[in-house]
Homo-oligomer: A and B are copies of this chain.
């Protein structure tokens, strides 16, 4: 009924790698699923934590994200906007919009991320996608 929080871990919740497939398109990030969805509320609430200097995968997909920062600070790319984010800021990532979260070099970035249980797989940028990015985005992203 209550998942008790202690230092960004929760009772009864396992800490997982961000993605099971490994890869070099992300860095220093963990995932905890705080709510895994039920038929009448088929969404997942996950907590992701990016260690200082780390980042999530740059990707896009059909499903939306609603993200709420609960620890530290960093920057986010959504589409072609790059914005600083910090405590309790709420980020809306629309469908098929490039996005990447990056922690500050000297701070964690921890956030709640809301998604539908039924969702498509992310698409990562290919060479032609990277060539099509605005220069300020290309300079920001880590792929």
Q: Is A109 an interface residue (CB 8 A)?
A: no
The main secondary structure of chain A at its interface with chain B is: strand
Report A95 CB to chain B, min CB distance, Å: 7
Of A35, A76, A90, which is in contact with the most chain B CB atoms at under 10 Å from its CB?
Answer: A90
Contact status B41-A115, CB under 8 Å: yes
Q: State which size class the interface on A falls in.
A: 35 or more
Contact status A85-B40, CB under 8 Å: no
CA distance A68 to B34 in the complex (A): 9
Which A residues fall within an 8 A CB radius of B? 1-5, 8, 10, 34-35, 38, 40-41, 43, 45, 62-64, 66, 68-70, 76, 78-79, 81, 83, 85-93, 95, 112, 114-116
